[in-house]
Amino acid sequence: MIPLPGYPEGRDLLRDKVVVVTAAAGTGIGSAVARRSLEEGASVVLSDWHERRLGEQAAELDPVGEVHPISCDVTEETQVQALIDGTVRRFGRIDVLINNAGLGGSRAIVDMTDEEWSRVLDVTLTGTFRMTRAALRRMIEQGGGGAVVNNASVIGWRAQAEQSHYAAAKAGVMALTRSAAVEAAQHGIRVNAVSPSLATHPFLAKVTSEELLAELTEREVSGRAARPWEVANVMVFLASEYASYLTGEVISVSSQHA
């Protein structure tokens, strides 16, 4: 196994930026990118549909930096708009949107219902569209500039049984990223995505079998899964001016070939 890296110190990559993170409550990539954004000097709006976990996460992150929680279900347009409006009321603007909300599950195509298919696509793909649309409108009204970073998945490239709904949604996120980037470029707004292979955290362990996690880990040449903050580091990079010439790209955060 490749030696584990140390947790990096903040370098003010997002100093004075206002960052909105969806699905930021819990132990996964969303909460990790919220923490990393705070450590990099940003003010962060935490969002999640689960109000109790959202409040707990905000309290945990409060000592790190300025954080403001707003509950939001990305499948509800009124709540999406309320999240953007609430951000602007609190901080005056939005500089970065991190689209992390997604929903998975395992089901063979022959057993999958229309409702199961639609629910995964509504949260994972259409939710990303709704948030991106609302954020771009506001960024353009502000005079342009800003960044959108989407959370895709290596499964958008790679076939895996019982994942057709999730794979289709994540492939859609990749395509949305590229098309949105073309439209946003004239306004100085960048749109990129990360494509993690495997990032383990307690919630994932609850909803995924040990056998599948072991199989996926074996595919990683590093001999381990990523930790959520390792994916978050790449998202922070894409949100920062260090990625000023990157737009419409999907960055594989992986120790394997897709």
CA torsion 208-225-13-248 (nearest 10°) is: -70
Look at phi and psi of residue 3 and say left if phi exceeds 0, alpha if psi is from -120 to 50, else beta. Answer: beta
The Cα–Cα gap between 90 and 15 comes to 17
Which one of 7, 166, 242, 245 is the catalytic residue?
A: 166
* Residue 186 per-residue DSSP state: G
The Cα–Cα gap between 176 and 207 comes to 27
What is the gyration radius of the CA atoms in the chain, in angstroms?
17
* Residue 69 per-residue DSSP state: E
CB-based contacts of 3, cutoff 8 Å, min separation 6? none
On whether the CB atoms of residues 103 and 123 are closer than 8 A, the answer is yes
Largest CA distance in the chain: 50
CB-based contacts of 36, cutoff 8 Å, min separation 6? 10, 229, 232, 233, 235, 236
* Residue 220 per-residue DSSP state: -
- Burial pattern 84-102, b for ≥16 Cβ within 10 A else e, equals bebbbeebeebbbbbbbbb
For residue 166, indicate whether it is catalytic.
yes
- Active-site residue numbers? 166
